[in-house]
Structure 1
Amino acid sequence: MPQAIGLDVYGTLVNPLKMEDHLEPLAGERAGELAALWRQKQLEYAFRRGLMRRYEDFGICTKQALEFAARSLGIGLPEPERRRLLEAYGSLPPFPDVPEALSTLGERGHRLWAFSNGLESAARGLLERAGLLEYLEGVISVDDLRTFKPAPEVYLYLARRLERKPEEVWLVSGNPFDVIGAKAAGLRAAWVRRDPEAVFDPWGIEPDLTVADLQDLAEKLPD
């Protein structure tokens, strides 16, 4: 039976750290540091809002994280620059391996859905601009539940939307917290470890598969 797969978007299909290119006019040689802190705080804000049950959508988390990161590094962020950067965030590039790998997975009959912390409309527009939407059946957003990964209910919601039991659904993500969240909720999960020096959280919960990229996943995922 073809696999039912939920693919994380930010950090798995598209690369948030490529915002470094857009940040360079603002931050110069600190652009990479700013991009990394922006991403770190974006996730932290989503986690905190989920725990506090004070939901605001992922776009708000992204905007507030940018403001924090810029202030932390002492970098001025005029309103035109903020608008420019947030607009650029909606056009993040795909990782190089992704288009061909999604095509291969689709040809093998696997069901492919994007599964994101982002708003459905934002994720859909991002994936369309990245040239990836055509490979997917659709987009599932945690916004439907007004909370964020790694809350267990969002992974169970993914399984319901795919009309499969949790243990029959794969979550594919480059983010260890996402993989652990999916496994804790009863799904199967693959960790995309593009950086060979990346360390998986030592929680005693391991991915079912660890792959170097999505092309590696396409070769190793059981039919």
Structure 2
Amino acid sequence: MSVPAGSPAAVVFDAYGTLLDVHAAVARHAGRLGAQASAVSALWRAKQLEQSWILSATGDYADFATLTRRALDIALAAHGIADDALRDDLLGAYRRLDAFPDAAPALAALRGAGLATAILSNGEPAMLEEAVAAAGLDPLLDAVLSVHPLRRYKPAPEVYALATTRFGCAPERIAFVSANAWDAFGAARFGFRVHWLTRAPVPVEYGLDRLARARIATLAELPGLLA
């Protein structure tokens, strides 16, 4: 099927938090963590992202799998948890996160409309390959792009340029979807058509009420907006 004039050259998705549920790893082992499960998961995610921003800002780099391990160690230590077996199980679960229920149907509908689909992620290549395969999303993607060759993390502009290079187009021809406000802002500043995903009600950040093309509550809205 040909893509109508004015349609994006590709629809590019953030992976962690947008297509993949970053809290699924802890959810699988919540019984072993007890009442601290939600707090551990939230701190794990916060420290993972914090490290990526600090390293990029200071010109340093460690791959995302390393940041994920370091962040989990901080989260467990902060809650007084010393359990090596649990730590290993959580890290294993993080490499095989569940896809959100709306992810595969949306990707399939976009591809059915003739649109290319891709991931642009902080994840390192092996980590992404395993996660995408485990979530069953690999047949629905034309490309999985990792920041790893650049040794920089989003929201560095050169990261978003990976998508324009891959699809041979200007930034405004890329529709970008992220559930992370800071990522949506970085993509909008780069020139992408940003669709900010907020599955739960959250306040507007970074002027995204002006910068984003649309704010969506589910990926099911995308085909109607883009195809």
Code of the aligned partner of 2:211: E
* Structure 2 equivalent of residue 75 of structure 1: 81
* Structure 1 equivalent of residue 132 of structure 2: 127
The CA deviation at 1:200 is 2.6
The residue correspondences of 1:38-187 to structure 2 (distance < 5 A) are 38-78=44-84, 80-187=85-192
> Which of residues 16, 22, 37 is equivalent to 1:10?
16
After TM superposition, what 4+ stretches of structure 1 lie above 3 angstroms from structure 2?
202-205
Equivalents in 2 of 1:125, 1:67: separation in Å? 22
TM-score, normalization by structure 1: 0.94
Asked whether the 8 Å contact 2:27–2:37 carries over to 1, the reply is yes
Code of the aligned partner of 1:49: L
Asked whether the 8 Å contact 1:67–1:77 carries over to 2, the reply is no
Once the two structures are superposed, residues 33-65 of structure 1 have per-residue CA deviations (whole angstroms, 9 ceiling, x without a partner) of 111110111111111111111100001110000
Secondary structure at 2:215 match in 1: strand
Asked whether the 8 Å contact 2:145–2:162 carries over to 1, the reply is no
The CA deviation at 1:166 is 1.0
The CA deviation at 1:22 is 3.1
* Structure 2 equivalent of residue 24 of structure 1: 30
The CA deviation at 1:96 is 0.7
Kindly tell me the number of residue pairs found equivalent between the two proteins.
220
* Structure 1 equivalent of residue 204 of structure 2: 200
User: Which runs of 5 or more structure 1 residues have no equivalent in the other structure?
Assistant: none
- Give the fraction of aligned pairs with identical amino acids, expressed as a percent: 34
Equivalents in 2 of 1:33, 1:217: separation in Å? 32
TM-score, normalization by structure 2: 0.92
Asked whether the 8 Å contact 2:119–2:141 carries over to 1, the reply is yes
Equivalents in 1 of 2:80, 2:172: separation in Å? 47
Once the two structures are superposed, residues 147-176 of structure 1 have per-residue CA deviations (whole angstroms, 9 ceiling, x without a partner) of 000001111222111111111112111111
CA RMSD of aligned residues (A): 1.4
